[in-house]
A and B are shown apart, each in its own frame.
Chain A
Amino acid sequence: MNTDGTIHARAIRKSFGPKLVLKDVDLDIASGEVCCIIGPSGSGKSTLLRCINGLETVDSGVLKVNGENLGYYETETAYHRLNKKKIAEQRTRIGMVFQQFNLFPNMTAQENVMAGPVLVKGAEKGAAARQAHELLASVGLSGFGDYYPAQLSGGQQQRVAVARSLAMDPEIMLFDEPTSALDPEKVGEVLAVMKDLARKGMTMVVVTHEMGFAREVADSLIFMDDGCIVERGDAREILRSPKERRTQSFLEKVL
Chain B
Amino acid sequence: MGILFSVSTNPNFKWHVVARYFTHETIIRGLMLTIFLTVASMVFGTLLGLVLAIMRSSSTKPIAATAGVYINLFRGTPVLVQLIFWFNVAALYPNLSIGIPFTGISTAVDVNALIAPITAALIGLTLNEAAYMAEIIRGGFAAVGKGQIEAADSLGMSGAMKMRKVIIPQAMPSIIPATGNQVIGMFKETSLVSVLGVAELLQSAQLIYARTYETIPLLIVASLWYLVMTLLLSYPQAQLEKKYSRATSLIPRKAKKVVLTAPEGIAR
Contacts and interface: CB of A to CB of B under 8 A. Distances in A.
Contacts of B165: 104, 115, 119
B258 A147 contact: yes
Contacts of B252: 105-106, 148
Interface stretch (B35-43, B119-127, B145-153, B193-201): B145-153
A156 interface: yes
A134 B159 CA distance: 29
Interface stretch (A86-94, A228-236, A237-245, A246-254): A86-94
A98 B156 contact: no
A98 B150 contact: yes
12 contacts: A55-B150, A55-B153, A55-B154, A88-B156, A91-B154, A95-B154, A96-B150, A98-B151, A102-B151, A120-B157, A147-B258, A152-B268
Given A102-B147, A147-B267, 4 more contacts: A96-B150, A106-B252, A143-B262, A147-B255
Contact of B147 (A100, A116, A151): A100
Interface string A12-53: 000000000000000000000000000000000000000001
B155 A120 contact: yes
Given A84-B158, A105-B170, A120-B161, A153 B153 contact: no
Interface string B249-266: 011100110100010111
B139 interface: no
Contacts of B154: 53, 55, 91, 94-96, 165
Interface in A163-179: 164-165, 168
B166 interface: yes
B255 A151 contact: yes
A200 interface: no
Nearest to A100: B147
Contacts of A148: 251-252, 255
B262 to A, nearest CB: 8
Contacts of B268: 152-154
Contacts of A104: 148, 151-152, 165-166, 170
Interface string B179-190: 000000000000
Nearest to B172: A106
A115 B154 CA distance: 12
A103 B151 contact: yes
Interface in B223-268: 250-252, 255-256, 258, 262, 264-268
Interface string A98-126: 10101111101000000110011000000
A144 B252 CA distance: 16
B169 interface: yes
A199 interface: no
A115 B150 contact: no
Contacts of B161: 119-120
Contact of B256 (A103, A119, A146, A164): A146
A90 to B, nearest CB: 8
Interface in B208-225: none
Q: Which of B154, B156, B256, B258 has its CB near the most chain A CB atoms (within 10 A)?
A: B154
A84 B159 contact: yes
A89 B156 contact: yes
Nearest to B251: A150
A100 to B, nearest CB: 5
B116 to A, nearest CB: 43
A80 interface: no
Contacts of B147: 98, 100, 102
Contact of B155 (A100, A146, A168): A168
Contacts of A105: 170, 250, 252
